[in-house]
Amino acid sequence: MFEDLISKLGMTLKYDDFQGGPGGYCRLRDEKKIIINRRLIGMDRLKTLCRAVSSLELDDVYILPRVRELLEEHGD
């Protein structure tokens, strides 16, 4: 679900091990990415993903109703 949306936005989703936070949206040179801490599980992973995606411009993008509900519930 989220992978399709992120791809539609021209971004990549990556799970990585790191310390210092749960992850989120970032730009590295000309690449837009969402990086999620691989150590997160369950709802923590979902909430981090929702916060990252909800911080983006989504007005012109079709979002599945269930994904939109999750973004509204767990996003910023």
pLDDT, one tens digit per residue, over 54-66 is 988 888 899 999 9
Contacts of 43-47 with C-beta under 8 Å, sequence gap 24+, read: 46/70, 46/74, 47/22, 47/74
Q: What is the pLDDT of residues 4-60, one digit of tens each?
A: 899 988 999 999 998 889 999 999 888 999 999 999 999 999 999 999 999 888 888
Output DSSP code: residue 56: S
Q: What is the pLDDT of residue 25?
A: 92
Q: What is the pLDDT of residue 52?
A: 93
Q: What is the pLDDT of residue 59?
A: 87
Q: pTM for the full model? A: 0.85
